[in-house]
Amino acid sequence: MHFEFTEEQLMIRQAARDFAQAELKPGVIERDEHQKFPAEQVKKLGELGFLGMMVSPQYGGSGMDAISYVLVMEELSKVDASASVVVSVNNSLVCYGLEKYGSEAQKQKYLIPLAKGEVIGAFCLSEPEAGSDATSQRTTAIDMGDHYLVNGTKNWITNGNSASTYIVMAQTDAAKKHHGINALIIEKGMEGFTIGPKENKMGIRGSDTHSLMFTDVKVPKENRIGDEGFGFKFAMSTLEGGRIGIAAQALGIAAGAHELAVQYAKERKAFGKTIADLQAIQFKLADMATEIEAARLLCLKAAWLKDHGKSYTQAGSMAKLFASEVAMRTTVEAVQIHGGYGFVKEYHVERLMRDAKITQIYEGTSEIQRIVISREVLK
């Protein structure tokens, strides 16, 4: 066992760090305020190869490992979680699933432009009445012979309006319950597919979250991923990797807030010295640093298991559960250390605190992660 990164991993981390400072930091407060999607920044992330990081070069990707993905997600999320969630969803929930389970024709048509970052994708599982209880899909995909007829509504879809390629889970045979669910590739612009208004959110306000409506959308059979009825397993399997991405996002939010708190504590004077000289602040910073390091190790362990072809179900859920809880605790403390300045937008920590909350909710709430972990523990 060793704890060193390769030269390549260190270079990728540095590139992500530089990008975050040069391209994401300017305007991040305004994008949050006006709920503006970071379109230009996402385009550049695509050009750098960050949107299809783990996809093989054969399909337009960068062929990097999951460790590099964690490093990139941490660095981007320190500054702009609205941009980093695009990286996570495109890599883990869209490209990964297409590369692993898609047909050659689907890879040629959809994966290559997604991996190159020419277009972005969305993963559509959640519904008004199916969030944590994901097997209860109400969206239907009726088998019409050479195509499916899709009807229903999806909720809280990341990249909802900015995506071009949507992977949509829908129920074809309700009698078979989750074995009747299919994963279908739906393109923006297909007749009967409409996009609802952008959600007005507490955090990751730059991220483009919408509901989607499908009314008699004709989806060709060749757009089904995997065999008939494979859709739920497809969703669960892709979410396992997604959870590593969101864990690393939570880690980055926590680490970003901690860096700001350290910097502020060294500058801010009170009672004739800097507040970094006060033990009350020192202990907070020490606890934050310890928890962040533990979260980082859980993220890297899950990524390492994935890179080595080992099971990462439990490790990914542990990383997401712990890192998201650490993100929440750390950002609250970072605001506290900043005092009144922490409560205003210019100091960034209030945004990080609002952004942290979603990491305990999406890609499986903390409670769902506990279900997954306990099932593994009790196996």
Catalytic center residues: 363
Q: Which residues share a beta bridge with 141?
A: 150
| Residues in 140-159 that interact with ligand CAA by CB under 6 A | 158
The tokens for 140 are 């239907």
Our CB check for ligand CAA shows the closer of 81 and 261 to be 81
CB of 159 to ligand CAA, least distance (A): 8
Per rule CB under 6 A, count of chain residues that contact ligand CAA: 24
138 contributes a contact to ligand CAA by CB under 6 A: no
Our CB check for ligand CAA shows the closer of 148 and 362 to be 362
φ, ψ for residue 195, nearest 5 deg: -115, 130
Single-letter amino acid, residue 369:
Q
Q: DSSP for 302-340? A: HHHHHHTT---HHHHHHHHHHHHHHHHHHHHHHHHHHGG
Residue 40's alpha-carbon distances to 37, 54, 81, 269, in angstroms, are 9, 22, 15, 39
CB of 84 to ligand CAA, least distance (A): 11
CB of 14 to ligand CAA, least distance (A): 26
The tokens for 366 are 């903390």
Task: Find out whether 123 and 158 touch, Cβ atoms under 8 Å.
Answer: yes
Task: Find out whether 130 and 138 touch, Cβ atoms under 8 Å.
Answer: yes
- Mark 304-323 with x for binding to ligand CAA (rule: CB under 6 A) and - for no binding: ---------x----------
CB of 323 to ligand CAA, least distance (A): 15
Our CB check for ligand CAA shows the closer of 349 and 358 to be 358
Single residue of 14, 21, 132, 374 touching ligand CAA by CB under 6 A: 132
The tokens for 146 are 């050479």
244 contributes a contact to ligand CAA by CB under 6 A: no
- Mark 165-194 with x for binding to ligand CAA (rule: CB under 6 A) and - for no binding: -------------x----------------
Give the interface segment with ligand CAA, choosing from 1-9, 15-23, 25-33, 359-367 (CB under 6 A). Answer: 359-367
- Mark 205-224 with x for binding to ligand CAA (rule: CB under 6 A) and - for no binding: --------------------
- Cβ count within 10 A of residue 132: 12
Give the interface segment with ligand CAA, choosing from 6-14, 66-74, 180-188, 364-372 (CB under 6 A). Answer: 364-372
Q: DSSP for 273-308? A: EEGGGSHHHHHHHHHHHHHHHHHHHHHHHHHHHHHT
Distance CA 379, CA 193 (A): 42
β strands within the chain, DSSP E: 121-124, 140-143, 147-158, 165-171, 181-187, 193-198, 209-220, 269-270, 273-274
- Cβ count within 10 A of residue 288: 23
239 contributes a contact to ligand CAA by CB under 6 A: yes
Our CB check for ligand CAA shows the closer of 230 and 341 to be 230
Single residue of 240, 325, 350, 355 touching ligand CAA by CB under 6 A: 240
| Residues in 260-289 that interact with ligand CAA by CB under 6 A | none
Query: Helices 231-267 and 66-79, interaxial angle, to 10°?
Result: 50
233 contributes a contact to ligand CAA by CB under 6 A: yes
CB of 253 to ligand CAA, least distance (A): 14
Could you tell me which residues come within 8 angstroms of residue 2 by beta carbon, excluding any fewer than 6 positions away?
none
Our CB check for ligand CAA shows the closer of 85 and 244 to be 85
Distance CA 299, CA 321 (A): 10
Our CB check for ligand CAA shows the closer of 74 and 363 to be 363
Distance CA 250, CA 233 (A): 25
290 contributes a contact to ligand CAA by CB under 6 A: no
| Residues in 53-82 that interact with ligand CAA by CB under 6 A | none
CB of 265 to ligand CAA, least distance (A): 33
Task: Find out whether 121 and 159 touch, Cβ atoms under 8 Å.
Answer: yes
Site residues (CB under 6 A) for ligand CAA? 85, 89, 93, 123, 125-126, 132, 134-135, 158, 178, 232-233, 236-237, 239-240, 313, 362-364, 368, 371-372
